[in-house]
Amino acid sequence: MIEFVRNVRLWFAPELIREEGGTPDYRFSLANERTFLAWLRTALALIGGGFAVDQFLPHLRWGWRVGLALALLAAGVLCALRAVNHWVRCERAMRRGEDLPASRFPVLLSLVVAVVALVMVLVVLAGWAG
């Protein structure tokens, strides 16, 4: 937990990361930043999908529409937060010469998206309109 709190502090003061270890090859730091930006694009797509479900499926029963929209919005929020946390963790590991941190988040995100997609397929096939 203490490590997580330190990482959150580094979200808002990334210059403090330079106090750890040595400077990695800039190509690796830039690759880490590109990965961060890819996660942010994924978060924005999930958030956009959540709003799309809510706004463009008015005939879907309220509970299904709101449930699917909230699942996508929550996944987008988690993805955005995970992006910055993963960026900090990777940058620190590179500076220390450690292995990059493993993450279960891609599996979790994939499962959420797959479940939402399957529910949407069922909704479309069953024609559950409100």
Q: What is the DSSP letter of 59?
A: T
Q: Are 66 and 51 in contact (CB under 8 A)?
A: no
Cβ-based neighbour number of residue 53 at 10 Å = 23
CB distance 20 to 95 below 8 Å? yes
The pTM of this model reads: 0.85
**Res 130: pLDDT:** 55
Q: Which amino acid is at 17?
A: I
Does position 128 have pLDDT exceeding 70, yes or no?
Answer: no
- State residue 120 phi and psi, 5-degree precision: -65, -35
Using 50, 70 and 90 to split pLDDT, how confident is the model at 93?
very high
pLDDT tens, position by position, 2-39? 888 888 888 898 888 989 899 999 999 999 999 999 99
Beta bridge partners, 129, equal: 60
How many whole angstroms separate alpha carbon 38 and alpha carbon 30? 12
Q: Which structure tokens are listed for 79?
A: 């993805």
- Tell whether the model's pLDDT for residue 78 goes beyond 80: yes
Q: Which two tokens stand for residue 124?
A: 């479309």
Asked whether residue 120 carries a pLDDT value surpassing 70, the answer given is: yes
Q: pLDDT digit string (tens) for 40-73?
A: 999 999 999 999 999 988 888 889 899 999 999 9
Residue 57 burial (CB count, 10 A): 18
Q: What is the pLDDT of residue 42?
A: 96
CA–CA dist 86, 88 (Å, integer) = 5
